Amino acid sequence: MAPGQTATSRVAGIVLLLVLVLAGIARSHWGTRSDSFTIDEPWHVVAGVSYVRTGDFRLNPEHPPLVKLAAGAGQSRDFVLPPFAPLVEKSQERDWVEDVLFFKNDAAAVQRATRLSLWAFHGALVFALGLLLWRALGLAWAAGSLAFLALEPSVAAHLPVAMTDLPLALTLAVAVACAGLLLSTWQWRWVLAAGVALGLVLGSKHSGLAGVAGVGAVLVVGVLAGWREGWAEGVRRLGRVAAAGVLGVAVLWAMYGFRFHAGPDGSDGFNRAMADKVADLNIPHWRLAIGVADEARLLPRAYLWGLSDTVRAGVEGRGQSAHFVWGVNHMGAPPWFTWPSIVVAKVPLGLLAMSLLGLLLLRWKSLPPAGRWLLAAGAGAGLVHLAALMSGQGTYGGIRHALPLVVLLALPAGALVAFAWRQASAAWRAAALVPLAAALVMTFGEPRLWEYHNELAGGSEGAYRQFGNEGLDLGQRWHEIKAFHDAVIVPEGATLYSDYWFMEEQAIAARTNYRRKVDSIDDTNIAGVYEGYFIYPMMSTLPWPEWGWDPAVGLAGLEQVKRLGFVAVYKGRREDPLGRAGDVYGRVLEHLYRRGGGRDEVVAARLQEVVAIAPFHVGAAIELGNAQLRLGDLDAARAAYQLPLDQQMMPVEPLAKAQLEAQLARLDTATDPATVPPLRNPWME
């Protein structure tokens, strides 16, 4: 709140900001009321309950604990958390947490509790941001920024969701505001506020390191500016920035109970040993940095384990070599415009215009020092986060990984409202509301805010023709699929198959007629003949020659009987050898990593069937080569590892290619298969 205001005006301002926060939550409810869990939420919720109850951080260390603590604290005391099972690989851990949520608990009640706790958690962060913007830039600016956030569909879609992306975006914006106030006053209260905010960023998501670096760079500029006033001032500022940094790290440690090990008893029951997790990294400087930090115990081991996973999945890309942007499947490295395009396609055009106009109307010299420093910190955080996104190989996350950029767009958007209010003109004030009104009109009828895309991308109905990432869907259509199943499939006694990524445990727990295409590694249905109802994402209606998919062939014999947004329901009888190959690969992984392995001759036979249909399948080729090594056949192993490098359909991601080439080099000099270590499958991360 700005100083010098009357009590009445302060109350009125607080009420205004609260109304905007509640309006955003109400809109979020309206646009997400039909959503089921995302595919990642069970993991976060069950992990959060375990953190709160046991103080053990072995589950889901891929992400820091902040949002999981909020989701776990919001569950009722009736939530059943069984004793931990030994964890082996990520897939087995996912199965365990989904079994806990869908078989041992009332999933619908858990989701209701999750939504309520996350609306409260995210709402508190938005309100805190509004108060800080009011203090630094005035009430009109703060109200404009919060109105932007209340109307932005991707923000609204994430408000009730137990995932790490919106907490990162909001805590980073709060840290930006606190940094601006610190840089303008150098008061200890803002040192403390900035330190706590930076700690919350670190505790939200590992990619928050980029935003923290951006804010830190601006803080360094503020310190250097102090040296011009004398060395004493420079030292004073440096000490306060250092104190904020130390406090931020302390806040992160506090979230882990100030313990290095994951368990209260000094254990680390992760699904993969820390040493192996670090060794999986292919980029030497990341492998060295995380290894040194773990050895020196600079940060909690669970945090460092998760940082390794984030680098493997996001920076290295875990084998991703195709990026569907503006209707073109770009091979190899993602094009430079991928992330700007994702933002431009997802934010409503009215809100984009609001941010652009606000930027053009900024009068830098007329801003208070806190405002100038705040905007500088926002620019630093946004640019470094964007640079981190653009330098990575993984683009699968879509807008959720770019949410910090979306939230930071609210800062210049607020400038438009502040400028108009300073003009004391009804016409100007009305004009400032036009972009907000346009955004409301253009998005008001959107029933599924997660799937929203603006007109540039063909709208929500046609966006699948332009983009292929998790901003289209993350498994939230289960409730409608279940309703269709109960109304249509059950009366017919038909079977339901799915190429859509809802959670199998969810379907099984609901006693549906769902069936896998392949039940075990002993499957012999090589032609892939199936009959019943089939669930596909709408992207399956497009040709994907790189993946060997032609809808005219793949969907032959089927009739589309229902469309549920991003999901299409088909009925009929068909041959699906490509789909069967994908399921065979899944059953092989299940056999190897969840059921103890063995029977390598059968494993090899099934995987030969997979690569015969999909020679570009890096994961299947690696597992086939590993199986042949275990069988003692060096030549067969060499042929398997070579297969992805020889095929021309889909280029191999550079790091995976380097791994394959190194393995082939080892085989060229080997005489005993037992001396050649198996190759780590990048898709196990």
Q: CB within 8 A of 295, min separation 6: which ones?
A: none
pTM for this model (two decimals): 0.94
Q: How crowded is residue 600: how many other Cβ atoms within 10 Å of its Cβ?
A: 17
DSSP letters for 376-422: HHHHHHHHHHHHHHHHSS--TTGGGGGHHHHHHTHHHHHHHHHHHHH
Residue 503 has pLDDT above 90, yes or no: no
How far is residue 492's CA from residue 216's CA, in Å, rounded to a whole number?
Answer: 62
Confidence of residue 257 (pLDDT cuts 50, 70, 90): very high
Largest CA distance in the chain: 85
Confidence of residue 4 (pLDDT cuts 50, 70, 90): low
CA-closest candidate to residue 304, choices 57, 655, 54, 94: 57
Distance from the Cα of residue 343 to its chain's centroid: 15
Residue 185 has pLDDT above 70, yes or no: yes
Q: What is the pLDDT of residue 319?
A: 60
Q: What is the pLDDT of residue 422?
A: 85
Confidence of residue 3 (pLDDT cuts 50, 70, 90): low
What would the pLDDT profile of 131-179 be if each residue is shown by its tens digit? Answer: 999 999 999 999 999 999 999 999 999 999 999 999 999 999 999 999 9
Q: Are 205 and 168 in contact (CB under 8 A)?
A: yes
Confidence of residue 596 (pLDDT cuts 50, 70, 90): confident
Confidence of residue 410 (pLDDT cuts 50, 70, 90): very high
What would the pLDDT profile of 16-42 be if each residue is shown by its tens digit? Answer: 999 999 999 999 999 999 999 999 999
CA-closest candidate to residue 155, choices 413, 359, 376: 413
Strand 529-537 relative to strand 496-498, pairing:
parallel
E runs forming strands in 196-353: 322-325, 328-331
Sorted by where each begins, the domain ranges of the chain are: 7-443, 478-575, 582-684
DSSP letters for 175-234: HHHHHHHHHHH--HHHHHHHHHHHHHHHTT-TTHHHHHHHHHHHHHHHHHHHHTT-HHHH
What mean pLDDT comes out for the span 100-120? Answer: 97
How far is residue 274's CA from residue 293's CA, in Å, rounded to a whole number?
Answer: 12
Which of 2-11, 49-58, 85-94, 113-122 is the least confident region? Answer: 2-11
What would the pLDDT profile of 442-501 be if each residue is shown by its tens digit? Answer: 898 888 999 999 999 999 999 999 999 999 999 999 999 999 999 999 999 999 999 888
Sign of dihedral through CA atoms 143, 145, 148, 153?
Answer: negative
Burial of 84 (0-12, 13-18, 19+ CB in 10 A): middle
Q: What is the pLDDT of residue 64?
A: 97
Q: What is the pLDDT of residue 682?
A: 81
Q: What is the pLDDT of residue 424?
A: 74
Q: What is the pLDDT of residue 2?
A: 61
Q: What is the pLDDT of residue 553?
A: 92
Which of 320-329, 382-391, 423-432 is the least confident region? Answer: 423-432
Q: What is the pLDDT of residue 318?
A: 62
Q: What is the pLDDT of residue 326?
A: 97
Residue 288 has pLDDT above 70, yes or no: yes
Instruction: Give the SS3 label for residue 344.
Output: helix
Q: 322 - beta bridge partners?
A: 331
Q: How crowded is residue 296: how many other Cβ atoms within 10 Å of its Cβ?
A: 8
How far is residue 301's CA from residue 632's CA, in Å, rounded to a whole number?
Answer: 37
How far is residue 200's CA from residue 66's CA, in Å, rounded to a whole number?
Answer: 7
Residue 1 has pLDDT above 70, yes or no: no
Better-predicted residue by pLDDT, 282 or 208: 208
Better-predicted residue by pLDDT, 276 or 183: 183
What CATH number has the domain spanning 582-684?
A: 1.25.40
What mean pLDDT comes out for the span 546-569? Answer: 93
What mean pLDDT comes out for the span 260-280? Answer: 92
Q: How crowded is residue 602: how many other Cβ atoms within 10 Å of its Cβ?
A: 15
Better-predicted residue by pLDDT, 476 or 393: 476
Sign of dihedral through CA atoms 129, 135, 139, 142?
Answer: negative
Q: Report the chain's mean pLDDT, rounded to a whole number.
A: 93
Q: What is the pLDDT of residue 673?
A: 87
Q: Are 125 and 169 in contact (CB under 8 A)?
A: no
CA-to-CA dists, residue 319 to 63, 331, 332, 618, 651, angstroms: 20, 12, 10, 8, 10
Q: CB within 8 A of 183, min separation 6: which ones?
A: 218, 219, 222, 369, 370, 373, 376, 377
